[in-house]
Amino acid sequence: MRVLGVESSCDDTAAAVLADGTVLSSVVSSQDAIHQQYGGVVPELASRSHMRSIIPVIERALATAGVTLDDIDAVAATCGPGLVGSLLVGLSAAKAIAFARALPFIGVNHLEGHLLSVRLDGEVPFPYVALLVSGGHTSLYYAEDFGRYRQLGMTRDDAAGEAYDKVARTMGLGFPGGRVIDELARQGNRTAIRFPRARLKARRGAASSADAALEFSFSGLKTAVWQYVRDHAIDSDQARADVAASFQEAAVDMLLDNSFVAVQRAACNRLVIAGGVSANSRLRERAHAAGADLGVSVHIPPMRYCTDNAAMIALAAEHRLRRGESDPLSINAAADLEL
């Protein structure tokens, strides 16, 4: 079965061809150059740029895979969550192809794509605890099987990737900030500044702390970095690298603390980390080290499948197609589609 996948939920235009779980092509066209000057994604510019790129990106994905539309058995596209103007471009293009070719169509939840992305690189048995950490989301899930996910907790405020992007902006490092901070932090001293780590108490209503949702909070850390930068002269490369490394260490501490508590509670000994921030070198290094210490097997997708891509969308669709499912072409984009 060959599936054409399309993804346009935020600021990457992506298309991929998957043949029975194997990636034949995965093309991603980034809009970073467009949004850089604004320090964040401008929704109107994003959808216009998707309009220009969507057909060339789909054509490139087919050509790279060495196939034509005649060889495609089904079409899939992200239908949410995301920016509605962005979602509509990829979704409409994919639905049009499905309609013209009379092919089955699947609308995919972007978050399910991230949760399954690790499987593009090999088998990962269910069940697993998954930390989904990106520019828009920071949540923990218990993934029992395909299509069966239970949320264990999420962020109360900013997503971790958003905190990376805002800290980068505070430090004048450009957008998107995650990769820049990751690189800068390599030259820095991680213990130079002790930034606060939010350790959230059990919410009222939970029967005991063991039942409490595992929540994250990144806005206090973001503000602490902002105050530090305001009050100190950050005028050398070393000073900048120290702030980046100290911020990153605090963010990674918070992400991994809750993740390993979730694994322990779920008693499943398997942790998957996915989403744009899972490309972070320090998060990867520390997750693998902690996993080795605690006897937990840690799975993180290769870099190219951490950030937004269409291969993960085609993969999520493939499992539904195998069960004989498809979606009507009346399916619409939903900005806050839940998993």
Binding site for ligand KG4 (CB under 6 A): 10, 134-136, 161, 164-165, 176-179, 182, 275-277, 279-280, 307-308
Nearer to ligand KG4, 48 or 304 (CB): 304
Q: How far apart are CB 81 and ligand KG4 at their closest, in Å?
A: 9
Residues 6+ apart with CB under 8 A from 56: 29
Contacts of 132 (CB under 8 A, 6+ apart): 111, 114, 115, 138, 139, 140, 141, 274, 275
Cβ-based nearer residue to Zn ion, 138 or 170: 138
What is the three-class DSSP state of 140? strand
The residue type found at 42 is: V
Q: Taking CB under 5 A as the rule, which mask of x and - marks residues 110-149 in contact with Zn ion?
A: ------------------------x---------------
Which of the listed partners (ligand KG4, Zn ion, none) does 301 bind, with a CB threshold of 5 to 8 Å by partner kind?
A: none
Residues whose CB is less than 8 angstroms from the CB of residue 21 and which lie 6 or more positions away in sequence, other chains included: 119, 315, 318
Q: Which is nearer to ligand KG4, 275 or 291 (CB)?
A: 275
- Residue 182, binding choice from Zn ion, ligand KG4, none, Cβ under 5 to 8 Å by partner class: ligand KG4
Determine the Cα–Cα distance for residues 16 and 59; give it in Å rounded to an integer: 10
Nearer to ligand KG4 among residue 165 and residue 215 (C-beta): 165
Residues 283, 256 contacting (CB under 8 angstroms) = yes
Among 11, 308, 318, 327, binds Zn ion (CB under 5 A): 308
Q: How far apart are CA 327 and CA 122, in angstroms?
A: 27
Q: What single letter denotes the amino acid at residue 257? A: D
Least separation, in Å, of the C-beta of 276 and Zn ion? 6
Instruction: Please report whether residue 31 would count as binding Zn ion according to CB under 5 A.
Output: no
Binding at 164: pick from Zn ion, ligand KG4, none (beta carbon under 5-8 Å per type): ligand KG4
